[in-house]
């Protein structure tokens, strides 16, 4: 088993937390995993990106040219990264903040999920990253939504523990939406 995913969006959308949660879930599943985030001055610029590689073999490069899945959480990310996924790859777009009409690729699987709107409906726009992970779990088949939700406790800080059920709901909302379409 090998799967790599690239997540990109605005700073504040919880991109890194999503990547870390995915990495934690993969580790708890017994897989090898690397999580490489953007950092430092790059983040001050307002963009956040990360790469997660999961495998049951030893992982070579934590840097990936052509991730099997790109999750574009905003318009700039869609424009910039839709080309990077290989033919047959998966592009998951936050259609609340990115225009699906701008998808140029015909040779990949594209899914629009109104992550921000679904999150707001759940009560907090900041849950869009969890909606994204739910959709990712449903569409990539690389890891289950239960496995992702199971890792929440490890990555959510002590004082926010009470928000775990809400995050779980957001993950399931992503699954539901991605499965329904």
Query: Which of the ranges 28-36, 73-81, 97-105, 135-143 carries the binding residues for other proteins, by CB under 8 A?
Result: 28-36
33 binds other proteins (CB under 8 A): yes
Q: What is the DSSP letter of 77?
A: H
Query: Which of the ranges 18-26, 105-113, 124-132, 164-172 carries the binding residues for other proteins, by CB under 8 A?
Result: 18-26
32 binds other proteins (CB under 8 A): yes
For residues 27, 144, 34, 163, the Cα torsion angle rounded to the nearest 10 degrees is -80
Using CB atoms within 10 A of its CB, is residue 77 exposed (0-12), middle (13-18) or buried (19+)? buried
63 binds other proteins (CB under 8 A): yes
Alpha helix positions (H), the chain:
15-28, 41-44, 75-81, 115-122, 128-140, 145-150, 152-155, 164-180
35 binds other proteins (CB under 8 A): yes
36 binds other proteins (CB under 8 A): yes
61 binds other proteins (CB under 8 A): yes
Binding region for other proteins (CB under 8 A) = 20, 23-24, 27, 32-37, 39-42, 59-66, 154
């Amino acid at each position: 088993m090998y799967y790599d995913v690239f997540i990109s969006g605005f700073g504040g959308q919880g991109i890194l937390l999503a990547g870390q949660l995915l990495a934690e879930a993969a580790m708890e599943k017994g897989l090898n995993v690397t999580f490489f985030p953007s950092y430092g001055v790059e983040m001050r610029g307002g963009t956040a990106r990360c790469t997660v590689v999961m495998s049951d073999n030893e992982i070579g490069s934590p840097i990936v040219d052509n991730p099997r899945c790109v999750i574009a959480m905003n318009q700039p990310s869609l424009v910039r990264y839709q080309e990077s996924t290989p033919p047959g790859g998966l592009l998951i777009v936050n259609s609340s903040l990115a225009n699906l009409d701008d998808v140029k690729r015909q040779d990949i699987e594209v899914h629009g999920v109104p992550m921000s709107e679904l999150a707001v409906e759940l009560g907090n726009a900041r849950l869009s990253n969890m909606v994204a992970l739910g959709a990712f779990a449903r569409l990539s088949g690389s890891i289950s939504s239960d496995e992702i939700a199971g890792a929440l406790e490890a990555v959510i800080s002590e004082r926010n523990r009470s928000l775990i059920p809400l995050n779980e709901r957001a993950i399931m909302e992503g699954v539901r939406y991605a499965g329904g379409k």
